[in-house]
Structure 1
Amino acid sequence: MTSTGSPAPYDEIADWYETEFLARRTRIGLGAADGDPLEIDRALAELLGTPPSDGAACLEIGCGTGVHAERVRALGWTPIGVDLSAGMLRHSRGRLPAARADAARLPFADGSLPAVLAAMVHTDMPDYPAVVREAARVLRPGGLFVHIGVHPCFCGGFADRGDAEAVVIRPGYRDGHWTTASWSADGVRARVGATHLPLPALLAAPLAAGLALTAATEGGTPTPSMLAFAARRQSREAQ
């Protein structure tokens, strides 16, 4: 787990995640090898973009094994990370410098970072709005927060994605809840569960944290499986 709570579930699956799950994602067309079908790379390029100065730090919260570090580095940022799971962090060595820490209690000073990234992790966090508030705290004025995650409207225990051409949405979307229900028994969610936030609650999180939404995008076909947005901490003059 990558925020408040026990890290045990991710510690238990860390080796499987690194050696089997990531390799299978590539084989079945969910990795960079087949052209970024979830459009995570595109969202990073569009929303995170290039840094204000070469090599500026971008903190990834819930960085896990560091699978996004190479993409962040290619944009000109210096990726750093935090995660609660020591097992996942063990596999991040060599990908980015990272520390074991709770995303809701970041070991960084107020206003100290130019960018914070949350990539495909918000469903792992029991109180994601608290995590976003903490991200806003450590951002410097004008700093950028980028969220990339599974699409709240089309992914979750209520969404049957067993047929890639026809996602079936069942009752339960509006109920914020934790569940291990998943269309695939071979994925992460069936092993560690997921916390669901409906779209309004997800978009309200950066606004409540004092961030200003600046851009958004979706990815995946034929029904979007990814939703991403960018938000900035307002400068002192704008507050």
Structure 2
Amino acid sequence: MALDNRLLSLLADPQDHEPLVLSDAADALENRGALRSYPVRDGIPLLLAAEATPLSPTAPQPTQLRPVSQFEGLSGWYDDAMSAPGERGALATAGYGILADLLGKGDGIAIDIGCGTGQSAGVVRELGYEPVGVDLSIDQLRIAARRLAVAQATAHALPLRSGSVATAYTTFTTASWGDLDRSLSEIYRVLAPGGRIVNIGVHPCFNGGYSLAEEDGSVRLKPGYRKGGWLEPSHFPQTRIRSRTGGWHWPLADLLNAFARAGLLIAQVVEGGPGDGDAVPIILALAAVKPVELRL
């Protein structure tokens, strides 16, 4: 599988953000200044620090640990769950509808950060953009590669050139980000001035780690909500994706403050989800912009 040229035009070494070039054999991406390379397998660049190999025999070998996605080994189940009728599929459908509204019509490349199996790619492509995805799970990327150009990377070390992205989006990913500040700072770095990020996520108040849906459609909030942190799979009801993967709970204040600390300006907030206007909103969507510096 050939490497997508649109993806190649944006890629950078996640360690120093320097451009990467395709090797003569087209099986690696090389940072010729730092003398290291990253493998390309089945058309997917593997851009984790742990995957780097030195181009010089005298250069030190990398010592970074290879991060493991919570979704590894669950890609087929996840893809089916997010597209099937029922609670999970309805959540995805509502989320992608809000994503389309916030992105609006446009063109050019749109980066999907934490693309999973790439289910939102068709929605984004219909708006006029060309979606390109990054995700940690190689299992999920093998499915996503059928839907969009992809690379393996983490949200807190994006393999993208600084200031190269006009449009970015992420769907149902913040519960996978153990370092919320670092991930949002990376998004800020890769956005061009005036560029925007649309974040679609579960509502931390009504669909988070401390909320419990009642039969009458109301939601009961359990003690512990204000404390952010990791929650094991057993903490979540069986109807939720996170009952298989676990996830990070971020209270609303933590989430909004992290955007502010990164320097992103929130332009629009949407609360929504399946059901009519009387239904409790289980999705929280944020559209934020990297400000343009004014020079007098």
State whether structure 2 residue 280 is matched by structure 1 residue 223: yes
| 1:7 counterpart residue number | 68
Q: Runs of 4+ in structure 1 displaced over 3 angstroms?
A: 3-6, 29-32
8 A Cα contact 1:38 1:226, kept in partner? no
- Give the aligned residue type for 1:109: R
8 A Cα contact 1:144 1:232, kept in partner? yes
8 A Cα contact 1:154 1:225, kept in partner? yes
Query: Can you list the C-alpha shifts for 1:26-71, whole angstroms capped at 9, x where unaligned?
Result: 3225436xxx7863233212321122xx3x1111111010011111
User: How far 1:206 sits from its partner (Å)?
Assistant: 1.7
- Give the aligned residue type for 1:209: A
* Structure-1 separation of matches of 2:196 and 2:246: 29
- Give the aligned residue type for 1:45: A
* Structure-2 separation of matches of 1:68 and 1:42: 10
Q: Which has the higher contact order (CA 8 A, sep 6+)?
A: 1
Question: Compared with structure 1, are the counterparts of its residues 199 and 122 closer, same or farther at alpha carbon in structure 2 (3 Å cutoff)?
Answer: same
Q: Which has the larger radius of gyration?
A: 2
User: How far 1:235 sits from its partner (Å)?
Assistant: 1.0
* Structure-1 separation of matches of 2:172 and 2:202: 6
Query: Can you list the C-alpha shifts for 1:128-167, whole angstroms capped at 9, x where unaligned?
Result: 2211110110000100111110001112231112536121
Question: Compared with structure 1, are the counterparts of its residues 138 and 72 closer, same or farther at alpha carbon in structure 2 (3 Å cutoff)?
Answer: same
Q: Secondary structure at the match of 1:9?
A: coil
Q: Secondary structure at the match of 2:189?
A: helix
8 A Cα contact 2:70 2:246, kept in partner? no
| 1:212 counterpart residue number | 265
Query: Can you list the C-alpha shifts for 1:170-205, whole angstroms capped at 9, x where unaligned?
Result: 11110102112112x243211110101111110112
| 1:41 counterpart residue number | 96
In the alignment, structure 1 segments of 5+ residues that lack a partner are none
Q: Secondary structure at the match of 1:152?
A: coil
Query: Can you list the C-alpha shifts for 1:63-108, whole angstroms capped at 9, x where unaligned?
Result: 0100111111111111001001100111112211010011111111
State whether structure 2 residue 179 is matched by structure 1 residue 118: no
Q: Which has the higher helix share?
A: 1
RMSD: 2.3
State whether structure 2 residue 236 is matched by structure 1 residue 182: yes
| 1:27 counterpart residue number | 85
* Structure-1 separation of matches of 2:191 and 2:138: 25
* Structure-1 separation of matches of 2:285 and 2:187: 16
| 1:88 counterpart residue number | 140
Deviates most, 174-183 or 133-142:
174-183
| 2:249 counterpart residue number | 196
| 1:17 counterpart residue number | 78
* Structure-2 separation of matches of 1:208 and 1:238: 22
Query: Alignment length, in residue pairs?
Result: 227
Deviates most, 203-212 or 38-47:
38-47
User: How far 1:5 sits from its partner (Å)?
Assistant: 7.7
| 1:72 counterpart residue number | 124
- Give the aligned residue type for 2:131: P
| 1:233 counterpart residue number | 290
- Give the aligned residue type for 1:102: T
8 A Cα contact 1:50 1:76, kept in partner? yes
8 A Cα contact 2:133 2:149, kept in partner? yes
* Structure-2 separation of matches of 1:182 and 1:43: 25
State whether structure 2 residue 190 is matched by structure 1 residue 138: yes
Q: Secondary structure at the match of 1:46?
A: helix
Question: Compared with structure 1, are the counterparts of its residues 37 and 100 closer, same or farther at alpha carbon in structure 2 (3 Å cutoff)?
Answer: closer
* Structure-2 separation of matches of 1:15 and 1:140: 35
In the alignment, structure 2 segments of 5+ residues that lack a partner are 1-47, 49-64
Report the identity percentage: 37
8 A Cα contact 1:160 1:182, kept in partner? no
8 A Cα contact 1:38 1:219, kept in partner? no
Give the TM-score of the pair, scaled to structure 2.
0.71
